[in-house]
Each structure stands twice: as C-alpha cells, then as structure tokens.
Amino acid sequence: DNLKQYLKQYYPDSKCDMCNAFISLTSNILNKNGKAGLVTQNSWIYLDSFIDFRREILSNSSIKSIIELGSNAFYDLSGEKANIALLTFEKSNYENDNFIKLISLKNLPQQKYEQLLNTKSNIENYTRRVSQYEILNTESVQFDMFSSKGLRDILKNSSTYGEYAIPMQGTSTGNAKSLIDFYWRHIGDSDWVPVSKGGGYSRWQGLNYYCVK
C-alpha cells in the first residue's frame, strides 16, 4: 500500500506499472543530454491507459530507438506476459525533425534477431523511422510499429464504421451462468435450445455441448 501511494504521488502518469515508473525515474535522474538504454515491457507502447505516460516521455526526451523483441527475448523467460522492448533515449527537448527508429523483431525466431542485432546486417528491412513530433500530436500518442504513413493517412481520413451503422456486441445472454448449460441436463425441455459456444480443437464434430435458455 505504501508503494502504491508513493507511485501515485510521484509518478501519476505511470503509477499503474512499475516498469513505466522506472522509465520515468531514469528520465528524471539523467543529466541534460544524458543517454539511457532500458529493457522494458512493451505494454507502454500500445495501451490506451498509458497515453499520458507516452506524452510525458515524448515531451521531455528525444527517443532514439524502440526495438520490440516480443516474448522470446530471454532463454529462461518466456510467455506472452514477458513481451520485451528495448528503449534508448536522450534527456533533451526533442526537435521537430527528430525521427525515432522503430524496429519490430517480435515475430522472428530468437536466433534470427540475435543475428540481426549482433551483425546489424539487413536490420534496415525491419526498421521504420517515424517523426517524434507526428506521434506526439496524434490522439492516442501511440507508436505504430508496422503501418506505413500512407496507411495511417488513409485510416485518419476515412469514414468510420459508426457513420454507417451502430457498432454492437454480438449475441450475448448477459448471464451465462444461469442461461447456458450442458445440453444433457435439459433433454426434452423446450425452453432450452442448442447453442455453439466455440472453443478448442475437436476432431470428430463441432463443440455442440451447450444449450441456451
């Protein structure tokens, strides 16, 4: 609880994640024009809950590169909860012409991106350079690791789905515990009808185990 209050008081934009708080701390203690390289989780790059944190970092630093390694960055640490990104930045006011190198290697085998990082051969094939000013002035302040500028412009200027239809959730009971059950418990009961919930692999037939009231 003390740690939670401390983060809330001193790191309000990154209080929900210790990794982000550490990035903020590093930025705060750097001397002017000092440089830092950090191994971080990649959640701060994408999640909407970290918009204010991204804005803080982009406003107070010149980011040099972000290299996304994904869940296979370490031999003894794996799983989707350990998605790794390497961050390098400088403690200085960014210039409008500062371009960030965004490199995504997360879909490559570990040996492949080790080779790329060690030799730097062909790494440009996985590299995009994006204006820091452009990122900072987008609504979501998000690092887009994949889309080209042309695609981003199309998405920005195109009509939204909501202009043509009302987005809605698909079929839902709102109370699955009470209204969905195994079909063999209600054989002969006309109030219950078969329903397919989907699920994992089934060799011989669909996953037709359920019924809905």
**CA–CA dist 24, 70 (Å, integer):** 22
Which residues lie across from 180 on neighbouring strands?
212
On average, the pLDDT of the chain sits at: 84
Q: Which of 35-39, 114-118, 182-186 is predicted most confidently? A: 35-39
Q: CATH homologous superfamily of domain 2-152?
A: Vaccinia Virus protein VP39 (3.40.50.150)
Decide: pTM greater than 0.75: no
> Nearest-5° angle of CA 151, CA 98, CA 146?
30
Host H or E run for residue 67: strand 62-70
pLDDT greater at residue 59 or residue 173: 59
pLDDT of 81 > 80? The answer is no
Domain regions of the chain by residue span = 2-152, 176-212
Percent of the chain with pLDDT over 70: 92
